[in-house]
Amino acid sequence: MAAISDNDRPRMAREVARLERAGFDAREALVHGFRLCNDRLEDGMTHAHAAAADWLLLASHAETPTERLAAQLEPLGHIEAEDETAAIAQVRGALAQNLSYSSIRPAIGEAALAHYADFGHCAIYTLKAGQLIERLGDEVAEPTLLALTRMVVRATREERLPEFRGHARALSEWDGRGNAVTGAKDFIGLSTEGALRQTLASSGRPMRELYDALLGAAAFNLLHFDTEYERSTSNAIADNVGWLDFTHALTFANACRHICDERPDLWPRAALQLALFVGRNRKYVRLDGDGARWRVDDRRTFLSAATKALYDHGIPEPIIACHRLKVLVAIQDELGSAPDAPWAKTTCAAVNRYLHTPMKRHHGLRIAAQALDFVGKEE
């Protein structure tokens, strides 16, 4: 615990290595860490939990003991970082009855998609919580589910923001009768309201068709993100966007597909919320951008090399490493589900650009300029 509190990675590495040498499973250290830190996570589940599921997956594919230990250490290094009482009580009751996460996941999925909550994190974490429990065992179920419940209850409801207020009206208008054939190109360049209208116009089409169109548009946006917005020092606070604003659409889509496979009745919520991602990001896309230079000819080799690089990623900020991992895991999962999907080439090119474009990690001048502007308006 001391090594985790101090974020002393070399010490954590030694302790985990000693644990394995003594004949224990190194994953027990992660279970111990989550249980000890659960009460300190005021807002519940974080990227530490969500990415842990994927780091453990990466560890299971490691080719050497060193790679395996490197992957297992990542989540350990990340741990320190409405009616909640009733919701927690219900979860504790389910656990007391020895209900599995898979049996309660549909209900949590419904809660996660009840609102455009916390920029899609609720849906993403609902998927990752189950995967984490599968990989660490039932002993980690309680701290994981309590953290997830706390996070879902406290999540910011983004649909209350002016640009997303059309979501509630669109959801009420969904009748499953819209028969407009749609593809990714039909969503590109649309505002949030336009994307919602287009989604409604296709509400009666097969959900897979609509999903492919929205995911394809999200991938197009990532491929054509205008990085001038990321580098700008004079933009408004509302325009503080970066790569994660775009990659979240992909990981959110991946989570929604799994949730809606279990609960098809949640597809309207998932599709409309994905439309919000697509419409919101259109302002920060250059439609004339050159995406051809990022084309991936050998998908398998590209994804394999990108995944292997994660064992020694060299990125000091956990959130950046987490998102690289989560994007790669999500896209490989989607391609495994639909290898010939119409968005496959665009998505691989988009991820290639994301992984190989330098990212601005500190915005000193922007923060200072926005602070002065904000304070100036108080006078």
Q: Are residues 337 and 284 in the same domain?
A: yes
Task: Give the per-residue pLDDT at 80.
Answer: 41
Residue 259 domain-assigned? yes
Task: Give the per-residue pLDDT at 81.
Answer: 36
- Distance in angstroms (rounded) separating the CA atoms of residues 149 and 127: 13
List the single range of 85-99, 161-175, 284-298 with lowest mean pLDDT. 85-99
| Domain count across the chain | 2
Task: Give the per-residue pLDDT at 104.
Answer: 83
Q: 118: phi > 0 → left, psi -120 to 50 → alpha, else beta; which? A: left
pLDDT in tens, 23-75: 777 777 777 766 666 555 555 666 666 777 887 888 888 888 888 777 776 76
Residue that finishes a domain, picked among 126, 154, 182:
154
Q: What is the mean pLDDT of the chain?
A: 86
Residue 8 domain-assigned? yes
| CB proximity list for 228: less than 8 A, separation 6 or greater | none
Q: Are residues 210 and 147 in the same domain?
A: no
Q: Are residues 136 and 180 in the same domain?
A: no
> Quick check: 263 pLDDT over 90?
yes
- Cα angle 294, 295, 299; round to 5: 120
Q: Are residues 199 and 343 in the same domain?
A: yes
**What ranges in the chain are assigned the alpha helix state H?**
2-5, 9-21, 27-37, 47-60, 65-78, 84-96, 101-112, 121-136, 141-154, 166-173, 192-201, 207-223, 228-231, 243-262, 267-281, 299-308, 318-337, 344-356, 364-376
Tokens encoding 277: 């991602």
Residue that finishes a domain, picked among 107, 135, 154:
154
Give the count of beta carbons closer than 10 Å to the beta carbon of residue 210.
27
Average pLDDT in the 4-21 region?
A: 66
Q: Are residues 239 and 295 in the same domain?
A: yes
What are the angstrom distances between the C-alpha of 196 and each of 82, 117, 265, 272?
27, 17, 18, 6
Residue that finishes a domain, picked among 120, 154, 188:
154
Q: Are residues 225 and 106 in the same domain?
A: no
State the residue for tokens 């409309």: 272
Q: Are residues 260 and 310 in the same domain?
A: yes
> Quick check: 112 pLDDT over 60?
yes
Q: In percent, how much of the chain has pLDDT > 70?
A: 88
- Type of residue at 44: G
> Quick check: 82 pLDDT over 80?
no
Task: Give the per-residue pLDDT at 12.
Answer: 66
First to last CA, the chain: 48
Q: Are residues 195 and 256 in the same domain?
A: yes
Banded pLDDT at 256 (limits 50, 70, 90)? very high
Task: Give the per-residue pLDDT at 339.
Answer: 96
> Quick check: 262 pLDDT over 90?
yes
Q: Are residues 170 and 308 in the same domain?
A: yes
Residue 376 domain-assigned? no
- Distance in angstroms (rounded) separating the CA atoms of residues 81 and 129: 18
Task: Give the per-residue pLDDT at 221.
Answer: 97
Residue 266 domain-assigned? yes
Banded pLDDT at 351 (limits 50, 70, 90)? very high
> Quick check: 283 pLDDT over 70?
yes
Q: Are residues 187 and 300 in the same domain?
A: yes
Banded pLDDT at 125 (limits 50, 70, 90)? very high
Task: Give the per-residue pLDDT at 177.
Answer: 96
Where in the sequence is the domain holding 59, given as residue range(s)?
Answer: 2-154
Closest CA to 259 of 280, 244, 274, 247: 274
Residue 371 domain-assigned? no
- Type of residue at 218: A
> Quick check: 116 pLDDT over 70?
yes
> Quick check: 1 pLDDT over 60?
no
Task: Give the per-residue pLDDT at 372.
Answer: 78
Q: 189: phi > 0 → left, psi -120 to 50 → alpha, else beta; which? A: left
pLDDT in tens, 300-320: 999 999 999 999 989 888 888
Residue 150 domain-assigned? yes
List the single range of 193-197, 332-336, 339-343, 371-375 with lowest mean pLDDT. 371-375
Banded pLDDT at 95 (limits 50, 70, 90)? confident
Task: Give the per-residue pLDDT at 65.
Answer: 82
Residue 373 domain-assigned? no
Q: Are residues 344 and 250 in the same domain?
A: yes
Q: Are residues 59 and 168 in the same domain?
A: no
> Quick check: 264 pLDDT over 90?
yes
Q: Residue 225 pairs with which residues in a beta bridge?
A: 285
Residue 375 domain-assigned? no
